[in-house]
Amino acid sequence: MSQRIAFVASHTEEAQAARALLASRYGDVPLDEAGVIVALGGDGFMLRTLHRHMPRALPVYGMKLGTVGFLMNQHHLADLPERLQRAQPTVLRPLLMEVVTESGGASSALAFNEVSLLRQTKQAAHVQVLLNGVAKIEELICDGILVATPAGSTAYNLSAFGPILPLGSRMLALTPISPFRPRRWRGAILPAVTEVRFEILDPYKRPVSATADSHEVRDVVEVCIRESTNETMTLLFDPEHNLEERILNEQFEQ
C-alpha cells in the first residue's frame, strides 16, 4: 500500500489537534496525490468521508476521535506506517436508494449503513412492502421501516431490535420500527441481491420521509432499495481490531 497519506478530520478540537500532530510526523499530501486516507473522528465523520471521497476509490483508515467508533481503529500517534502496512481491508458495498416524491420528483442516494423510512407527523405510516416486485406485506402500520447492510446492522437497525449480520454474509436486514400491524412481524433477513420497494399508502394524510445514511428526502410515495453493483469503498482495520470480529462480539453484549 502506498504510504502517501492524506489526513481528514472532524471539526472537533481533539480531532484537529490530532491531525496536526500526525501530519507533522508523517506528512500530509493532497487528496489527489494520496494512496490512503486517514480519517480522524467518529462513525458519523467516517460515513461522511466515505460518501465525500467515493469517486477517489482510496482505502480509508479511521482513528477514533469521537463518541462512537465502531468503524474506527484506536487512536495512537506512533507507528502509523506499520499499522497501515498490516491493516486488513474490508470492502463495503452501499445500498442505492431511489425515491419518488408526491410532487413527482425523483432522486437517488447511497447508504453504507441503512436506508430508513420514518413517519413525518403524529400519525403512523401505512406502507406496502414488496420484494422483487412481489407484495409481502400489503399494509404495514408502523413508525417506520429500514433496510440495513451488515456494516450498518449494529447501528440504527440494532436499536430497532433488528438482527446483527456477519460482515461477509451478503445479506440485508429488513426491520420495522415500532410496528403496530401486523402485530407479530419483526422483520426479515434478505439476500443482498433482493430489490426492496416500499409504497406509501395515503401519503398526503400520513407523510413519510426516507433517509440514506444522512441524506433525507421528505414526502416520498415510493422508495426502491437495492445493493449497488458498481460502487464500493474499502475500510482498513488493525488485525486485532477488525470489523468482522467486532460485529461478531456485538451479538454477545449483555
Residue 43: active-site member: yes
Could you count the other beta carbons within 10 Å of the beta carbon of residue 71? 29
Question: DSSP 3-state assignment of 210?
Answer: strand
Question: What's the one-letter identity of residue 179?
Answer: P
Peptide bond just before 191 cis, omega within 30 deg: no
Buried b (16+ CB within 10 A) or exposed e, 85-105: eebeebebbbbbbbbbbeeee
Q: Is 56 left (phi over 0), alpha (psi -120 to 50) or beta?
A: alpha
How many C-alpha atoms does 132 have within 13 Å on its Cβ side? Answer: 5
Neighbour-count burial of 139, counting CB atoms closer than 10 A to its CB (0-12 exposed, 13-18 middle, 19+ buried): middle
Distance CA 33, CA 41 (A): 22
Cell digits of residue 234: 474499502
SS (H, E, C) 90-149: EEECCEEEEEEECCCCEEEEEECCEEEEEECCCCCEEEEEEECCEEEEEEEEECEEEEEC
- From the list 32, 43, 202, 238, the catalytic residue is 43
Distance CA 79, CA 3 (A): 12
**Residue numbers annotated as active site:** 43
